[in-house]
Amino acid sequence: MNLRIPGPTPCPPEVLQALSGPMINHRGPEFASLLKTCTERLKPAFGTKGDILILTSSGTGALEAAVVNTLSPGDEVLGVTIGYFGDRFAEIAERYGAKVTRLVVEHGQAAEPEEIRRLLREHSNIRAVTVTHNETSTGVANDIEAIAKVVHETDALLLVDSISSLSSIPVEMDGWGLDVVLSGSQKGWMVPPGLAFVAMSDRAWKANAEANMPRYYFDLLSAKKYAERGQTPATPAISLFYGLDVAFGVIEREGWPQVYARHRDIGEYTRQGMRDLGLELFADPKHASNTVTTVRLPEGVVEAELLKTLRERYGIVVAGGQGPMTGKLLRVGHLGLVHKSDITALLDALRIELKGVASIQPSVAAH
Amino acid sequence: MNLRIPGPTPCPPEVLQALSGPMINHRGPEFASLLKTCTERLKPAFGTKGDILILTSSGTGALEAAVVNTLSPGDEVLGVTIGYFGDRFAEIAERYGAKVTRLVVEHGQAAEPEEIRRLLREHSNIRAVTVTHNETSTGVANDIEAIAKVVHETDALLLVDSISSLSSIPVEMDGWGLDVVLSGSQKGWMVPPGLAFVAMSDRAWKANAEANMPRYYFDLLSAKKYAERGQTPATPAISLFYGLDVAFGVIEREGWPQVYARHRDIGEYTRQGMRDLGLELFADPKHASNTVTTVRLPEGVVEAELLKTLRERYGIVVAGGQGPMTGKLLRVGHLGLVHKSDITALLDALRIELKGVASIQPSVAAH
């Protein structure tokens, strides 16, 4: 299968093989060493020298951890949402009692830093801003560096969901002054789902000392204390640590700059290929994501049928629209283990299957 | 390695191998089928025809799910604790705002149903009782059937941590009237850690409708709604589902009655072997666990040194004491993939290493 959804992503064979390692004592010396090296090797992608905690959960667990470890019920939060996952981040804050003001951006567009500045001035008690770096539901990447600048004109914390950007798109947590940054193993890391990563700045730890949203499983201070002695508070997903450890080797052999460049190239290649087919890109081209490309389904094409045909006839799995965009989009993942040939295969299949659809006009280049 | 801790447990080779399967779309038909069959095949061990939700987390996440999905802040809870994990369950309830009355039982002993009855009468507003079925920190199994009888003299819910008993020791959720029962993949299920299972009774769902402790990642109603269409709310640990699916085959080929009988036999064999070595069993023999055996360290034996020797010289990994019992106990896991020969190897090693320790008196049978 050519798995071209925005996660889980295909894993290199050596990563999959590593998952089969035998169980070990999670409170023994081997796991301590594994936890330490994995934590250290996450740091270049986060662009931080600070603490990163590895959780046994989906990425959504890390979103929850970011919220409940830095905030208290009643705190004001600005939830910047450019799609499904921005909504989720804001909703988690609300569930735990934050008073959330939402900046809802039209789907397909990125958040305007100027709008965030305006809202932060209007609501002067905002304690934290939640934002998605790379929104897989719309294929848009926010400019986090620019957003960080306006957020830091105030005392608000900046909590960044980098689930689908980290390890594929450069992030400079320390350089940009991000307070909480989080990701999940099943994205560019090329590891199956089940581990999540949360980095905390010094300011985030200071907030943590006063934050009193209830937490136990996702208590990051507890995770930090355990990590200092090479352990996790609860039993970790050991097999996925084995996979992560091997995946770092794959990434480091290619080199971080090369990994980022490959994602940039493939993003451009995918968008150009879609345009050449006459398909309409959904994301604002100025902010198009380099890990997921979204195109509008042409008039007369039924999403479920096209997905089924691609899967059954070509062995290609792509995603459809999510939330309000269900039935209206194709979403193509190109993060982690991906090469141009994987995208070419999809473009070729689309060219055949969409032939004769009246509403699309393939450009000359596609012939 | 002969991994003899009370979890993670060794996994059969076919389970480990299954973990290496390629990634699939977690919102596609293959995962839907996997989720459905895994959920159904959990039911015999739980002894329920009701709902079971599979979470991507450690067992501790399932403890949190049990609490936050059935209770509201301010609710009164009776936390029955016979050791470290009973404390944890009660602490989670407290963190989320429950008013917890603890029944603290001397370590090594089981909870007396009569004591629970007395406390439930004394505190007539108790909304839920939390209890550990099998306490791995002390090697004691509570009599859940008897406890359920006294709890059901009131309207309180009974939340049962069966993390280290389910699949090894019989549990009859429906028959005994348990309201929430939970377990984790890394115990008798013979699957690596990272999946947790939570079963909810109809009464638990009724309580859920009014329960307002905050929850998002562990929201079981959301999990139930997604499960109905073959999905999970967040991206699941797909590899571990592959392992679970294969582990069911291993268990079902042996047969559930045979699996339970094997655990009973090995429990007895381990205790007898320890007694024969002159070691003092820590758990009350009337309530000794059939998945973990605890023995007091003889005078003059240093826990860390003995664990190191067993690991380095014999390839046997056992656990030491936990919490207040640190340094005072050996804890031996015999759940999941375990045969008498694994225990014999440990007994032989202990016989050699403890020779000459003045405080122990091996019985004649041991010579």
CATH classification of the domain holding B344: 3.90.1150.10
Decide if B38 contacts B54 (C-beta within 8 A): yes
In a domain? residue B1: no
| Contact status of A194 with chain B (Cβ, < 8 Å) | yes
If asked whether residues B298 and B326 sit together in one domain, one would say yes
Is residue B4 a part of any domain in this protein?
Answer: no
Q: How many domains does chain A have?
A: 2
Distance between CA atoms of residues B161 and B241, nearest Å: 21
Q: Smallest CA–CA separation between A102 and chain B, in Å?
A: 19
Q: Cβ contact (<8 Å) for A3 and B10?
A: no
**Same domain assignment for residues B325 and B195:** no
CB B342 within 8 A of CB B2: yes
Mutation for B interface: A24, A57, A186, most B CBs within 10 A = A57
Q: Are residues B101 and B248 in the same domain?
A: yes
| Average pLDDT rounded to a whole number, residues A193-212 | 98
Residues A178 and A289 reside in one and the same domain: no
Q: Is residue B100 part of a domain?
A: yes
| pLDDT at residue A366 greater than cutoff 70 | no
**Is B217 among the domain residues?**
yes
Contact criterion met (CB below 8 Å) for A178 and A201: yes
Using the Cβ of B317 and the Cβ atoms of chain A, whether some distance falls under 8 Å is answered with yes
Q: HSE (CB half, 13 Å, CA atoms) of A146?
A: 11
- Cross-chain Cβ contact A234/B60 below 8 Å: yes
Predicted pLDDT of residue B356: 83
Phi first, then psi: what are they for B161, rounded to 5°?
-80, 105
Question: Directed axis angle between helix A238-254 and helix B238-254, to 10°?
Answer: 140
Provide the H-helix boundaries in A47-123.
Answer: 59-68, 84-95, 113-122
* pLDDT tens sequence across B159-195: 999 999 999 999 999 999 999 999 999 999 999 999 9
The domain in which residue A298 lies consists of 255-353
Confirm whether A364 is domain-assigned: no
Q: Are residues B155 and B219 in the same domain?
A: yes
Residue-level pLDDT at A79:
98
Helical ranges in A177-237 per DSSP H: 202-210, 220-228
* Residue B163, min C-alpha distance to chain A (Å): 12
Of B7, B10, B22, the CB nearest to A22: B10
Q: Which residues pair with A128 in a beta bridge?
A: A77, A157
Contact A186, A214 (CB under 8 A): no
Give the DSSP H/E element, type plus range, for residue B51. Answer: strand B51-56
CA dihedral B61→B66→B68→B69, nearest 10 degrees, is 120
- Burial category of B364 from C-beta neighbours within 10 Å (exposed 0-12, middle 13-18, buried 19 and up): exposed
Strands A316-320 and A99-104: unpaired
Same domain, A166 and A315: no
Give the gap in angstroms from C-alpha A192 to the nearest C-alpha of chain B.
Answer: 7
Residue A271 and residue A136 in one domain = no
Q: Which residue has the higher pLDDT, A365 or A153?
A: A153
- Which residue from A minimizes the CA distance to B232? A58
A35-71 confidence digits (pLDDT tens): 999 999 999 999 999 999 999 999 999 999 999 999 9
pLDDT at A367: 44
Scanning every residue of chain A, which has its alpha carbon at the shortest distance from the alpha carbon of B315?
A24
Closest chain A residue by Cα to residue B195: A237
Interface test with A, best of B186, B216, B311, B330 (most A CBs within 10 A): B216
| Last residue within a domain, chosen from A252, A272, A299 | A252
Residue B364 has pLDDT above 90, yes or no: no
How close A138 comes to chain B (CA, Å)? 17
Task: List pLDDT tens digits, range B83-127.
Answer: 999 999 999 999 999 999 999 999 999 999 999 999 999 999 999
Q: Which ipTM did the prediction report? A: 0.97
Please state the φ and ψ torsions of residue B257, each to the nearest 5 degrees.
-60, -35
What pLDDT does residue B366 have?
46
Chain A within 8 Å of B91 (Cβ-Cβ)?
Answer: yes
Last residue of a domain, one of B252, B278, B313: B252
Q: Identify whether B365 is part of a domain.
A: no
The answer to whether residue A97 is domain-embedded is yes
pLDDT > 90 in chain B, percent = 95
Residue pairs spanning A and B at CB distance below 8 A? 180
The predicted structure's pLDDT at residue B260: 98
State yes or no: pLDDT of A297 exceeds 90. Answer: yes
- Taking the CA of residue B125 as centre, how many other CA atoms within 13 Å lie in the half-sphere pointing to its CB? 8
Q: For A216, name the nearest residue in chain B, comparing CA atoms only.
A: B92
Residue of A nearest to B1 (CA): A24
pTM of the predicted model, to two decimals?
0.97
Exposure letters B302-329 (e unless 16+ CB within 10 A, then b): ebeebbeebbeebebbbbbbbeebeeeb
Q: Provide the residue type at A218 as one letter.
A: F
Alpha carbons A273 and A293: distance in angstroms, whole number: 11
**The predicted structure's pLDDT at residue B13:** 98
Cα separation, A317 vs B236, in Å, equals: 18
pLDDT over threshold 70, residue A304 = yes
Residue A184 at interface with chain B, using a CB cutoff of 8 Å: yes
Both A176 and A50 in one domain: the answer is yes
Q: Report helix, strand or coil for A326.
A: coil
Nearest to A192 among B214, B237, B311 (CB): B237
Tell whether B291 and B340 lie within a shared domain.
yes
Query: Could you say which of A252, A286, A309 is where a domain stops?
Result: A252
The answer to whether A194 touches A240, Cβ cutoff 8 Å, is yes
Strand B180-184 relative to strand B195-200, pairing = antiparallel
Say how far apart CA B347 and CA B179 lie, in whole Å.
Answer: 39
Q: Taking residues A75-98, what's their average pLDDT? A: 98
Task: Say yes or no for a CB contact (<8 Å) between B214 and A214.
Answer: yes
CATH number, domain of A112, equals 3.40.640.10
Residues B240 and B272 in one domain: no
What's the farthest any 2 CA atoms get from each other in chain A? Answer: 64
Decide if B47 is inside a domain.
Answer: yes
**Probe site for chain A from B3, B25, B238, B318 (most A CB atoms < 10 A):** B25
Same domain, B210 and B302: no
Sign of CA dihedral A24, A26, A27, A29: positive
Are residues A119 and A210 located together in one domain of the fold? yes
